[in-house]
């Protein structure tokens, strides 16, 4: 009798963890790292610790995460037909049938309400910004992702909305340099996602036209140099930002260019990953797994915090 109870308990725990793992996958929790952008305006303005800016940015991060998860679920609902032909995406919770469409849709609706209602209470501008993000992503899920290069622009626009939301929540104006850098990063992110997809499909001998027809416009011979070029341009823009007289005056130091050193090291290591083609080049995966880039990012944060706040 005791062994039966123990076995039942073990099975219940295993089922619980398996189910949680699938829901975490459906919500794409690892993609929440992109929402850190909402902290950027106040951080670079030297006001992240002022008044309630950090708490407002933190609340916005949570709301944007709810909004994004709702959008991700809707995107997966649209993609089931295509994902069923994909060598790895066919194992996604919705496509494989582990989670059925109706609880997924109910969860998406709940998440969107949990994002939109508090956003309305936080600031009307943020509410409308969330609405624009939702509408644009519904268009992307239904049609936009199948139009080459328009899909990249929509992704970049989503990054800019995150940045703009952070500025609105903390009443901080956003530097043109920051806008340019984020646009470049977002375009590189979009290309990296497509290059990784192309490589994966090629390894499995799958015709990209059967999975996502727009991928045929992103050949590796175009995507790889495109990513490298965008990363290098973004690095050059950052260097120009640190050497700008207004930046030096605002931060009170002529040595802000020192922060370029970890940036250069990070760019070098990322380009190595892109060229090697053996590991994931998705920024969120790289930040979670690549130790040299993690150290470079940490050094950059410490240096920037020193120049901005000390």
- The per-residue pLDDT for range 258-278, each reduced to its tens digit, is 999 999 999 999 999 888 876
Give the residue from 126, 163, 197, 176 showing the smallest Cα distance to 37.
163
Q: Note whether 204 and 86 are within 8 A (CB).
A: no
Query: How many whole angstroms from its chain centre is CA 79?
Result: 19
Could you report the per-residue pLDDT of 20-61, keeping only the tens digit for each? Answer: 888 888 999 988 989 999 999 999 888 898 878 999 999 999
**Rounded Cα gap, residues 61 and 42, in angstroms:** 13
Distances (CA, A) of 176 to 41, 157, 180: 11, 15, 6
3-state SS assignment for residue 75: helix
CB 275 within 8 A of CB 293: no
Q: How far apart are CA 240 and CA 209, in angstroms?
A: 41
Could you say which residues of the chain have pLDDT below 70?
A: 1-18, 278
Helix (H, G, I), strand (E, B) or coil at 280: coil
**Which ranges of 149-254 does DSSP label H, i.e. alpha helix?**
150-170, 176-203, 220-243, 245-251
In contact, 115 and 130? CB cutoff 8 Å:
yes
Q: Measuring CA to CA, how many Å separate 128 from each of 57, 115, 134, 168?
A: 17, 12, 10, 12
Q: 6: burial class by Cβ within 10 Å (0-12, 13-18, 19+)?
A: exposed
User: For residue 292, what is the enclosing H or E element?
Assistant: helix 291-309
Residue 278: per-residue pLDDT? 64
User: How far apart are the C-alpha atoms of 132 and 121, rounded to whole Å?
Assistant: 17
SS3 content of the chain, % helix, strand, coil (to 5): 85, 0, 15
Give pLDDT, residue 196. 86
Determine the pLDDT at residue 17.
47
Report which DSSP code applies to 86. S
> Which pLDDT value is given to residue 106?
94
């Amino acid at each position: 009798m005791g062994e039966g109870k123990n076995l039942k308990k073990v099975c219940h725990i295993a089922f619980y963890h398996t189910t949680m793992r699938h829901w975490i996958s459906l919500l794409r929790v690892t993609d929440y790292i992109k929402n850190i952008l909402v902290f950027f305006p106040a951080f670079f303005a030297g006001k992240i610790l002022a008044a309630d800016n950090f708490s407002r940015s933190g609340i916005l991060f949570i709301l944007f995460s709810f909004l994004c998860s709702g959008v991700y679920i809707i995107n997966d609902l649209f993609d089931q037909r295509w994902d069923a032909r994909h060598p790895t995406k066919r194992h996604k919770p919705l496509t494989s049938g582990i989670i059925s469409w109706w609880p997924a849709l109910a969860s998406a609706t709940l998440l969107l309400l949990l994002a939109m209602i508090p956003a309305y209470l936080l600031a009307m501008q943020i509410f409308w910004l969330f609405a624009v993000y939702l509408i644009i992503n519904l268009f992307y899920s239904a049609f936009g992702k199948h139009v080459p290069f328009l899909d990249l622009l929509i992704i970049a626009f989503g990054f800019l909305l995150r940045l703009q939301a952070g500025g609105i929540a903390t009443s901080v104006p956003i530097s043109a340099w920051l806008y340019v850098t984020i646009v470049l990063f977002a375009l590189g992110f979009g290309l990296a996602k497509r290059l990784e997809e192309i490589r994966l499909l090629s390894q499995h001998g799958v015709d990209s036209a059967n999975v996502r027809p727009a991928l045929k416009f992103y050949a590796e011979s175009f995507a790889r140099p495109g990513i490298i070029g965008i990363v290098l341009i973004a690095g050059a823009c950052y260097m120009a930002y640190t050497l700008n007289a207004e930046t030096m005056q605002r931060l009170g130091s002529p040595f802000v260019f020192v922060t370029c050193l970890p940036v250069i090291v990070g760019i070098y290591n990322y380009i190595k990953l892109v060229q090697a083609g053996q590991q994931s080049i998705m920024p969120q995966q790289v930040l979670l797994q690549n130790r040299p880039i993690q150290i470079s990012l940490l050094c950059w944060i410490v240096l920037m915090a020193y120049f901005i706040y000390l």
